[in-house]
Amino acid sequence: MNFLHLVAYGATGLAFCFLVLSLACGLYYLAELVEEYTVYTKKVIKVMTMVVVAIHFLLCIFDRLPVLQLLFSVFCHGVYSLNLQTFPFIQLSSLPFISSCVLVFVDHFLWFKYFTRYYRPFMDIASFFGICVWLIPFTYFISLSANDNALPLSDPSAADMIPHQQKTGLFKTLFGFLGIKQQQSQQDQSFSSQSFDLQQPSYHNIQTPYNTNMTTPVSRSHYASNQLQNRKAL
């Protein structure tokens, strides 16, 4: 073994560490995005669920995957969507959440058993597991962090009106670039500037008693000295 192999092993370990840190940073920014835009997140999860269910039906038509397992996966995604009724308040002890956790592993085990018996390319298997099996549960897993930071409002549409801490992140910057809530932020800035102008006092028209009290004695003494000079002259 030469020294170059040792350098290659060290570089591989360093690349693995960078990969883990990148995944951690990505999860952090995704969680921050979910906390900031809870209403948009709920809509995105609905659309993603419908797209995944449509992919299941297309796989049944074109790729001839087993119908029963595809129907079971569609049923699993229907159970996942029950968590949207109280989103972002997901109760960890509720029946929909516990059923979703159990169905995720059952669905994964069934499809893993199927692909071990029938050969498919690795990229096809990885794409199927990433989109059709793990995508929606992973989205709910990231959304659990919004449960602790959301307020119990009666109107879910007012959740995004709550002022948040100004954080600059990758996904927040992307949403700002796409124009989401840009008009609202401009209105908030204009309102804050107007309130600051109203609170700021004007010092131009204020006359302090010091000036009034000082000018009066000076003028009186000057007038008295003029009278004394006039009397001496007479």
The answer to whether residue 26 sits within a structural domain is no
Task: Tell me the residue range of the domain where 107 lies.
Answer: 37-149
Alpha-carbon distance 40 to 25, whole Å?
21
Could you give the 3-state DSSP secondary structure of residue 149?
helix
Give the pLDDT of residue 8.
86
Alpha-carbon distance 102 to 61, whole Å?
28
The answer to whether residue 70 sits within a structural domain is yes
The answer to whether residue 230 sits within a structural domain is no
The answer to whether residue 169 sits within a structural domain is no
Give the pLDDT of residue 224.
53
The answer to whether residue 20 sits within a structural domain is no
The answer to whether residue 161 sits within a structural domain is no
Give the pLDDT of residue 60.
92
Give the pLDDT of residue 147.
59
The answer to whether residue 109 sits within a structural domain is yes
Give the pLDDT of residue 160.
46
pLDDT by 10s per residue, the chain, length 234: 677 878 888 899 999 999 888 888 888 888 888 888 888 888 999 999 999 999 999 999 998 899 999 999 999 999 999 988 888 788 888 898 999 999 999 999 999 999 999 989 999 999 999 999 999 998 888 887 665 555 444 444 444 444 444 444 344 444 454 454 445 555 555 555 555 555 555 544 445 444 444 444 444 555 555 555 555 555
The answer to whether residue 27 sits within a structural domain is no
Split into its structural domains, the chain has a count of 1
Where does residue 168 rank: exposed (0-12), middle (13-18), buried (19+ CB within 10 A)?
A: exposed
Give the pLDDT of residue 208.
47
Domain at 123, CATH number:
1.20.1440
